[in-house]
Amino acid sequence: MINIALLGSGGSMPMPGRFLSSLLMSYKGRKILIDCGEGTQVSMKNMNSGFKSIDMICITHIHGDHIFGLPGLLSTIGNSARTEPITIIGPEGIKDIMNSILTLIPYLPYTINVIENPPPILGISFSTNGLKVEEHSNEDIQMSILELDHSCSCLGYSFYIVRRPKFCVQKAISNQVPKEIWSRLQNGEFIVYGNRIYEPDMVLGEKRKGIKLSYITDTRPINTIPDFINGSDLLICEGTYGDNEDIEKAIKNKHMTFAEAAGLAYKGNVKELLLTHFSPSINEPILYKMNAIEIFQNTTIGYDGFTKELCF
C-alpha cells in the first residue's frame, strides 16, 4: 500500500488555503517528496506528517513555486535529529541551487546527495538508512524520468512500486533448492551453493502487478507524455488553467488547461487523474471540472490536504 498526500496545489504564488506545488508519497514508513514549494512544511504539519523519514526529494524544475520551500523544510528535517543522508534529484541547475540554499543552512546534521540531470531510469531500494537511489531498475521502486516542455528544463517523474512474487514451496522443492537459501533467494539474491547457481525464479511464483504513479508538471502536453504515463494507477498532472478559453495563455506560458491534462490522461490510459498547480487567477478550480470530465471521466480536482491510498 502507498499513501499520497497533496501538500500544495497552487502554481505561481501562494493563495489563502492553497500552498505551492508539493506531493508526499509514503511507502513502508519511508517518504519521497516531489517538489517543495512555499508552504510545504506547514502543510505537512497540518497533516501531522513527520519530517524525519523523508529520504528523497525529487524536484521537477527550479522555478520558485517548486523550490522555495526547501530551505525551511531541510532545516526542520535537521531539527528532527535526522543524520542519514537525503538524496535530491533535479534538472540542470539543481546543484547550483542546492549550493546556494546550503549557505543559508550550513548547520544541517545530515549530508545531501544531489543527482543533477538523472538518467531516464533509476531504482530505489530500502536500506538501513532508508530509501537509497541506485543506477539500475531492479529495485523496490522503479523510477522513470522524462524531459518535459516548459520555459526551463523540467522533469516528469513516474514511480512503479514493484510487487514481489509470492514464495512457492512446490517450485523450490521441485527445483531441489536447499532450504538454507530459500529466504535469500526470495529476497532476490543469486546464490552459488555447493557447485550449483540458484536464481530467485527457482522459488518464486508468478509476477504480480505493482502500482504506477506519475507526476507531470509544469509542461505543455507533448506527445512523449502518454507513453511515459501509460497505465498509471494515478496521474498527478498540472491543470494551470480551468477555462478552455485560456488556451493561448497556456501555450504562451508553457502550461496546460484542464482539458489538455484530461486529454493526456485519456491517451495514457490511466485509471485516475488528479489535477493540481492551479493559477492564482482561479479561485474555485472545481467550477471548471466539467472541462476535464468531458474528456476523462475519472478526474479529481486536487486541493491542499487531499490524500489517497493506493493498494496492490
Q: Which amino acid is at 273?
A: L
Plot region of 94 (φ>0 → left; ψ -120 to 50 → alpha; else → beta): alpha
In the complex, the smallest distance separating the C-beta of residue 10 from Zn ion, rounded to whole angstroms, is: 9
How far, in Å, CA of 111 to CA of 220, rounded? 35
Strand 191-193 and strand 273-276: pairing? unpaired
Q: Which of 65, 140, 218, 304 is catalytic?
A: 65
**Residue 255 touching Zn ion (CB under 5 A):** no
Stretch that binds Zn ion, among 87-95, 176-184, 201-209, 212-220 (CB under 5 A): 212-220
Q: How many Å apart are CA 169 and CA 252, to the nearest integer? A: 60
- Cβ of residue 8: shortest distance to Zn ion, in angstroms? 10
Instruction: Using the rule CB under 5 A, give the single segment among 2-10, 44-52, 64-72, 95-103 that binds Zn ion.
Output: 64-72
Distances, alpha carbon 178 to alpha carbons 108, 170, 208, 264, 311, in Å: 48, 13, 25, 50, 34
Nearest approach in angstroms of CB 164 to Zn ion is: 36
Q: Applying CB under 5 A, which of residues 140, 218, 260, 304 lies at the interface with Zn ion?
A: 218
| Interacting residue with Zn ion among 8, 10, 11, 285 (CB under 5 A) | 11
| Catalytic residue check, 65 | yes
Q: Does 260 bind Zn ion (CB under 5 A)?
A: no
C-alpha cell of residue 291 = 472541462
- For 156, other C-beta atoms within 10 Å of its C-beta total 22
Q: Based on the shown chain and the rule CB under 5 A, indicate whether residue 35 belongs to the binding site for Zn ion.
A: no
Segment lying near Zn ion (by CB under 5 A), choices 59-67, 69-77, 175-183, 187-195: 59-67
222: how many CB neighbours lie within 10 A of its CB?
Answer: 15
Q: Which is nearer to Zn ion, 65 or 139 (CB)?
A: 65
Nearest distance in Å: CB 195, Zn ion: 59
Q: Which of 30, 31, 63, 212 binds Zn ion (CB under 5 A)?
A: 63
Query: In the range 150-209, which residues lie near Zn ion by CB under 5 A?
Result: none
Query: How many alpha carbons fall within 13 Å on the CB side of residue 311?
Result: 0
- Please identify which residue in the block is written with the cell numbers 548547520: 107
List residues with catalytic annotation. Answer: 65
Residues in the site for Zn ion, rule: CB under 5 A? Answer: 11, 63, 65, 218
